[in-house]
Structure 1
């Protein structure tokens, strides 16, 4: 191979290398903004109450602050993206999450803590909407499934870290734990700092000539928002009640409950990559339908028996799809709206908002049902499975309706 051939190969490899470098930056963003900023609070909650920083009621209220901020961040992402350069905004949101961790090491007042938990959620919501949609247009179409899976693997890593890293840090005290998490997030921000695509927007031109007609696109997107929202509701029984079900419902104790949460976290680490790889082979639509079916069965398993095998399978599978469904829905948005990065960002923002709203509504609604039913855990799992199967029915109906209109 002569010198000119080497130059050609180098030029061909450079875009691929930069795309994977950008993917790493987006993975760091999801790990900081969602994986740690949201999920690390759960194992911190007992310690916050135990050392007397806040009462149990106030601590739960502070947990809700992050969810409220997440919803606000998802809604504000597009206006912020219009006002600031993409790479600068993404770096700024990651830094905001870092600062929030260090600020929470100082329990100055309830208002102070609430404000920083809220801002942490804003950063997470904005990063969820913007990070992947900034990077994926720079990734070859045939590799977008695995790339989006790698991006959202950060969420799964954060779930796993919430059950491992936080208990280790808590041995050194609560202040040290908040600062340690802030230091980890600062390191991740540094790793991802220079990998963002400059300009942030897709290199592809706006072209809606190829793809479904506008009416069909709107119908498919509305169905997708409903599907994603119902998927969020279907995950609530495991995310909120799995450990308590094992510990108190089955009488096996907190240690046993924690073991199933570790399995949940292990599934979450690999779920996005596996679902993205599946989507690259089958397409995002079929992969999403298969995911809804498998999730529905997995959520129902605890209601079918209390065997260790059933509970373990359920924990791993639902854990895998908690972040694993995200790249499938985002990829479906790209399929419905090809070659239009601005419309993709808008649709993904709405989908993220629908997920946040339905997750919050599902959490409150299932908690109410749990109290009303006298602590019937099995009913919660049945309702979660029903929500996922309803989501599957809606998606299938939308696909059939699109085919009847002659849509692609």
Structure 2
């Protein structure tokens, strides 16, 4: 990307122009604050919260679920809110809300207090996922949108990596200090992005008048289903990877944490690499490759092939945890290239489908794991099945569209 004006297609009456680079970095900050830190930093904080006797283990787990519920609420409410007020205003408010949640959680006031603020941080994350990238990408040249989307969602990966590196360093100074440190980092990122959000819509309003074809509607609905299935396919690694290494393989928590760091390193570069791939081969082909590669990577732990293959699995699945997001968002823009007014609504629907299935898969696999006596292999098999089904749907719908 370059620093050329991002809103060249806007009329002179529009608000001040923001460069493509600044807008993209603002998107990066939003995904880092709302999802990367607000969600994933809680994972390494959980043992510390229990160990400090802030909350009992069962209560602490419910606090983690509060963020997930808030995320779904944010995904559902973002577009209606955007019809009532300016998108940059909502984005700034949500980044500020996520920041406030860190400071509010610095002391264990009560379970309800913590629950509400964890819910609020999830709400902010869901809204930012729906609004931030679509606010930026229409102002990026089409040939560079894959790269720009990769940079934006790299913030999620940086947050995952920070959850395994920065948080343990902060915890050496105490749990309260860790929450405050995360709050300060979030505040700095919020301020850095504050004046960099584009205003207005770079897409011509007349394009929305073109009618959609039936195959476009079918392909879009299939994409929602594929994205939801992809969420299910990621759950075994996202929730059970460390436990699988530590207890399933008997290697201990320290080794399990090392595999989580590998997962995080993959997450940092994943969105960037998937975006570059999409710029070269198109978002549709990149998505099909992503489903296949993920299915292979998720299957590896089930075969017990050794540490090298498990390391590869951790890195690859980590890369696609945030890396799948710019691919699906780019695909939405491809399918609705002549319907810019509908792109943001479609992305909201895709994000909601992902959030719903992720929650269902997380709770469902947790139930199966406990009821089947701790069968890790079953979890990875289910993840592979979900990803292969996503690939099959994409291939069938794509074939039908070419014939119509």
TM-score scaled by structure 1? 0.94
Q: Partner of 1:188 in structure 2?
A: 189
The runs of 5 or more residues in structure 1 that have no matched partner are: 1-9
Q: Partner of 2:203 in structure 1?
A: 203
Partner SS for 1:160 = helix
Q: Residues 13-28 of structure 1: matches in 2 within 5 Å?
A: 13-15=4-6, 18-28=19-29
Output the CA distance in 2 between the equivalents of 1:256 and 1:316: 15
The reply to whether residue 382 of structure 1 matches residue 373 of structure 2 is: no
The reply to whether residue 166 of structure 1 matches residue 157 of structure 2 is: no
Output the CA distance in 1 between the equivalents of 2:362 and 2:247: 19
Output the CA distance in 1 between the equivalents of 2:379 and 2:206: 45
Give, in angstroms, the shift of residue 202 of structure 1.
3.1
Q: Residues 69-218 of structure 1: matches in 2 within 5 Å?
A: 69-199=70-200, 201-207=201-207, 213-218=212-217
Give, in angstroms, the shift of residue 205 of structure 1.
2.7
- Conserved? CA contact 2:297–2:316, under 8 Å: yes
Output the CA distance in 2 between the equivalents of 1:266 and 1:20: 24
Q: Partner of 1:354 in structure 2?
A: 353
Give, in angstroms, the shift of residue 306 of structure 1.
4.0
- Conserved? CA contact 2:207–2:340, under 8 Å: no
Deviations 1:363-387 (A, max 9, x none): 1111111122211111111110111
Output the CA distance in 2 between the equivalents of 1:72 and 1:57: 23
Q: Partner of 2:275 in structure 1?
A: 276
Output the CA distance in 2 between the equivalents of 1:49 and 1:150: 35
Deviations 1:170-196 (A, max 9, x none): 111111000000000001011111110
- Conserved? CA contact 2:4–2:20, under 8 Å: no
Q: Partner of 1:50 in structure 2?
A: 51
- Conserved? CA contact 1:133–1:341, under 8 Å: no
Output the CA distance in 1 between the equivalents of 2:385 and 2:207: 38
Q: Partner of 2:13 in structure 1?
A: none
Give, in angstroms, the shift of residue 208 of structure 1.
5.2
Q: Partner of 2:291 in structure 1?
A: 292
Give the ranges of 4+ consecutive aligned residues of structure 1 lying more than 6 Å apart after TM superposition: none
- Conserved? CA contact 1:202–1:341, under 8 Å: no
Q: Partner of 1:260 in structure 2?
A: 259
Q: Partner of 2:396 in structure 1?
A: 397
- Conserved? CA contact 2:208–2:341, under 8 Å: no
Q: Residues 215-364 of structure 1: matches in 2 within 5 Å?
A: 215-364=214-363
- Conserved? CA contact 1:170–1:177, under 8 Å: yes
Give, in angstroms, the shift of residue 214 of structure 1.
3.0
Distance 1:166 1:36, change over 3 A: same
The runs of 5 or more residues in structure 2 that have no matched partner are: 8-17
TM-score scaled by structure 2? 0.95
